[in-house]
Structure 1
């Protein structure tokens, strides 16, 4: 994270040096010594995050010079580099820095597609890696799994999820709002290939629908509900209403954490089976990502279960029309 070297730590005010373990607030980008951030427990700008506060580089370009020892930018007014501590010679004795070409062009000024693509990747990937390093350390191990494997497994949505996981790690929480899980329910987990929570929540949804099924069976005169009173069904329905609300809150607040656990389990298995990096990357990309087929399969399964439920109905099917 070169742009933070030489900047004052937001916690203690001392310059951030090359040898320091630097962490960055995932919300506003403010830099800290790791020990300072952990001592504070949160970013000092937390009250302003809701208003969109973003940390900005504290020095103007004309106040900086390039250190000939480490190549980082440091203050002209100081005798030693704030980044590496080396004594700064007079600027007149320092060689001129090489002229940089315009973004997206090569040394001859011609348009360079490769350079432009690298810059695009940096604008998306570098902030994510910075946040991961701030939360999980320079090793970039999330649940013991390297950042690169997570990136390959999650796919295009990796920056969103990894930024969320970084925030959750820094805040020591498992909660993260997931509107996709709120709106689409179990289908979200099928889409993300998180099979265990997918089938778990699907089964829970079927349990929630049990009072409705019993009411329909009773209305059609099914002998299977002969010993069940209407009062019991009403009570069960109210219980399931509370259970349904709890279920919605659970999957909305913990969906990303459940997906993380499911993904980590599969990534570990793939890492054990494919030690070769190139093969592992291909397998992670193939077995990760999303699954439209999984969503369709879950929908078909519900249709089949619904069809099977009609077998439980009584002979008076016309009574169902009155329930609509």
Structure 2
């Protein structure tokens, strides 16, 4: 219930006391002694209701002046951002207009509180001591580093056998590039060789088409009339199927492969650290793991140069 202590009754002009029975006009909100309201049978400001009059709490001279004076003397005051009235520092609301003096602070605290959850946990919600194939999750996160919040829940699910497949678009779309990036160099090299082998029929067929066009000025019918039963055509179709199937398999099992390689390497690093007396195991795992952007750039550069070089030499053989 609102506290009207110290405010003047508009009928009897006496100030409300703590024990007084106070009623409020349902239209304008003006407080009255119940006795006074019943005595006149209406609100003291009934004639102003038609003008949209609404009662406002007056500045509490006794209470406000005393507390304001004391606050000003001690230097502990808070100005109301709405009406400018000086209030005691410990006041929750303005003594004049009732504005929440701590509204901005509460909004800032709410923003800071929400901001704490915007930072992504490197463990992705997995407990630091959770077991992932014999390795604590915190050590796995130290090894994975980039996007560990993505991988750890999936590693944990695969380790607990709650999921058999965790789809990886990175492995599906980028093939060997993904494995080089994640420092699985041997597997990356093997997949790169398979990918290049799948490209070979395309190079040969493209070369034949260009040669047909150059030597015989073939029309569109001749250009696309490669015998589908020829060994080259079969090789071309098989290579496309292999490349597509490999993409699907890598998408399905890329995360599992990465988990297997990561766990195996973490255990080797921990064993070596134990033998050598290296104390900072997580720091060592962070150095050994993570990603390799330098190797990624080198591999892509070599692949591009190989592609361009092969195209160039094929052109020389055809037209030279």
Q: How does 1:89-128 map to 2 (within 5 A)?
A: 124=121, 128=125
Give aligned pairs, total: 192
2:249 counterpart of 1:244? no
Give the superposition deviation at 1:128: 2.4
Q: Gaps spanning 5+ residues in structure 2: where?
A: 1-108, 212-225
Q: Secondary structure at the match of 1:124?
A: coil
Q: Given the superposition, is the C-alpha separation of residues 141 and 121 from structure 1 closer, same or farther in structure 2, using an over 3 Å criterion?
A: farther
Give the superposition deviation at 1:120: 5.8
RMSD: 3.5
2:214 counterpart of 1:213? no
C-alpha distance in 2, partners of 1:244/1:203? 12
Q: Secondary structure at the match of 1:129?
A: coil
Residue of structure 2 equivalent to 1:306: 307
Q: Given the superposition, is the C-alpha separation of residues 216 and 317 from structure 1 closer, same or farther in structure 2, using an over 3 Å criterion?
A: farther
Q: Gaps spanning 5+ residues in structure 1: where?
A: 1-110, 133-138, 222-228, 319-324
Q: Given the superposition, is the C-alpha separation of residues 277 and 216 from structure 1 closer, same or farther in structure 2, using an over 3 Å criterion?
A: same
Q: Is the 8 A contact 1:216 1:313 kept in 2?
A: no
Give the superposition deviation at 1:129: 2.6
C-alpha distance in 1, partners of 2:285/2:258? 15
Give the superposition deviation at 1:220: 6.4
Q: Is the 8 A contact 2:201 2:235 kept in 1?
A: yes
Give the superposition deviation at 1:256: 0.6
Q: Given the superposition, is the C-alpha separation of residues 188 and 312 from structure 1 closer, same or farther in structure 2, using an over 3 Å criterion?
A: same
Give the superposition deviation at 1:155: 1.0
Q: Is the 8 A contact 2:167 2:251 kept in 1?
A: yes
**Deviating more after overlay: 279-288 vs 146-155:** 279-288
Q: Given the superposition, is the C-alpha separation of residues 159 and 127 from structure 1 closer, same or farther in structure 2, using an over 3 Å criterion?
A: closer
**Deviating more after overlay: 304-313 vs 247-256:** 304-313
Residue of structure 1 equivalent to 2:268: 269
Give the superposition deviation at 1:183: 2.8
Give the superposition deviation at 1:235: 0.9
Give the superposition deviation at 1:254: 0.8
C-alpha distance in 1, partners of 2:123/2:254? 26
Residue of structure 1 equivalent to 2:175: 185
Deviations 1:100-145 (A, max 9, x none): xxxxxxxxxxx9xxxx8xx769983676234x8xxxxxx6332222
> What TM-score, normalized to structure 2?
0.51
Give the superposition deviation at 1:172: 4.9
Deviations 1:225-259 (A, max 9, x none): xxxx9621111111112111111101111111111
Q: Is the 8 A contact 1:217 1:314 kept in 2?
A: no
1:165 to 152, 155, 166: 155
> What TM-score, normalized to structure 1?
0.51
